[in-house]
Structure 1
Amino acid sequence: MTTESALREWRYGQTQAERMVAALLHLEGFEAVDPQHPLGGPDGLKDVLCCKDGLSWVAAAYFPSTLSEFRVIKSKFEHDIEGVRANNASAFAFFVNQPLTIGEREQLLGLAGQSRVELYHLERIRSVLDAPKGCGIRLEYLRISMTDAEQWSFWSSMNQDIVRKLVDHEKRRESQIRTLDEKLDLIIERTNAIGFALLEKPSHLRQKGSAPENPEMPTASLSLTTLCWLHRVITEDSRLPEAVRGRLRSVNVWVGPAGSTPETATYVPPVPEQLVDLTNSWIVRWQEQHSRLQASQKEEVVATLAEFHHEFLCIHPFLDANGRLARILLDQAARELLNQGIGSEFTADAVAYYSALNEADGGNLAPLIARVSASLK
């Protein structure tokens, strides 16, 4: 049996016709192909919905089992093209397993008005199914096997498609990288401009009462804006949602074992409405202490660092990554004031670390001070 005769003498019913049409639409470059009710039932004048060239399409299948007169095909076309208007679409694809002369095709196209139309008549469908790409669909729906030559052509065509898609993907990736590089250059340029402006004259962007900026002691001029920026930077590769990175939390949270509630939690941080005031107060206290601590004994500095670390964790200003940010700030502050960093052993023993924090919650900072002191390197 040839492809043409199998189409002319369609024996597989409307369900298989609509399913084959959906497969052909995929092959022809249509996207979001959505068969409606191939198993039967009202479909609202739309066998298949799909998209192509930025337009929404309605597709219809008319596959009679015997030769059909043109007036019947025309009537079916007029009925089905109403689905374009009924479904707020812009274009119409009509599949019919009957031969159409050029004059008959022109008549059908003339009925479309302003709507774009693609006519898939017998000869056009046959040519798609007999092409290398269509052999798989032909085998599935018409039960016509591929010859050896067609199999070679089929796999060669598929390989070419894969190579083309890989090349297109690489081109898009390179274009995206160039775009990101351009945006990054613009951001850096603007950031530098802002930085130079801040150095040249006072700015309302600086926090009131903050210490003078010192590039060697950044925590001395810490601000809420800088804190949020740091949080965004350290969560760059995390799974934290974009909406909460670099932003103070807007929801109530609690700290405790899995399944705990606010009533059973180990600790319940302040409500979101208090975060701005509490964080700013914490920053101001630190700035007031910073210059004094530069001339203080090591023991006093270590004790203040432990308090600095604990207070930030108590505020818990962000939805997540508070601990990571607190340790980064602690390490930087220790380097500024003691010329020593905080080693990884500070949190290596998680049980002892959280025990020290729990003691600090109750007013006993001694265990946490000891851990800070022992972790200096």
Structure 2
Amino acid sequence: MTTEASLRDWRFGSIQAERLCAGLLQISGYSDVDPQAALGGPDGKKDILSRRGEGLFIAAVYFPPTQPSFTTIRKKFVRDRKGVEPNGASGFIFFINQYLTVGQRAALRAAGGPDDEIFHLERMRHLLDSPIGYGLRLEYLRRPMSAEEQAAFFSAKRQDVIYQLLRNAEVADQIWNEGRSAISQLNTSELMFIHRTMLASNPQVVIGGQLRGIQTTVMGAQGEQIFTPPPPHEIPARLAELLSWWRSAYVSATKTDPDTALDLLARFHHGLVSIAPFLDGNGRLARLIVDQGARELLGAGVTPDLVSDRVSYYAALREADDSNFGDLVALMRAALER
């Protein structure tokens, strides 16, 4: 059953509905999310309390098991919204597991206040079918995650996407060597798989895991052309050479000092983005791998601060073109988690 159908034809009861909606508030940026009486009893016209900024919001959850008329939905909205004033709330959040047209949503907002929010069927479906919502979908709709969805989910939650990916039974036989680091034995097929997984959260992207088949250019921070990567027919050989060096150097780096490990990570990062083996996501892929490498070798990940100053970042890459890695190492050191 699809996410849409599971929500629309709800069969899991009011307790699970309220707990699901509390989770949706949490991943939508609300704080202090507090379900009131999910297990029964009076709730004072508020299923859930939460905050957005300084404002207090009350939420009502309406998950009928069969499709009601819009008149019934509107009456429910108006009735439940009466809890705003007695609870000293700034606004009202209405969860409805049914499809609402744009006009129907506008009609509900007209019956409420300027800060009210409506979580209708399509909005909830979108959240649950996004990486940040996969966990809620699994728990409350009982829909398992695919291998790619698992990796996207853990990436969205800033957990180690590669570690979670490699623990998945469907791919473990392909890319797990017992007792060895997940990335210390990286080869081209594994790199392609990680790239495909990294881009899996965007359904519009169809190039994940496919080596670049056309010539391209890399643009700088100001939109200027700063680099032309090698032509497509050279990519397989260059990748094989880079990854062969990486596997050998990684073993040595486990027995050396932090400065040498940072130099290794900087050289790999530069090598991968210089080859630019994919049409999109080369920088993200390089940062993902060096982040994991830094966690294993240095005990601290590499934050997005590495590329926050795009001018300095691209200048460091161009210096590295001439085997001067000092600036890139300095940026990487500054970006380590504190």
- TM-score normalised by length of structure 1: 0.44
Greater helix share, structure number: 1
Report which of the two structures shows the higher radius of gyration computed on alpha carbons. Answer: 1
- TM-score normalised by length of structure 2: 0.49
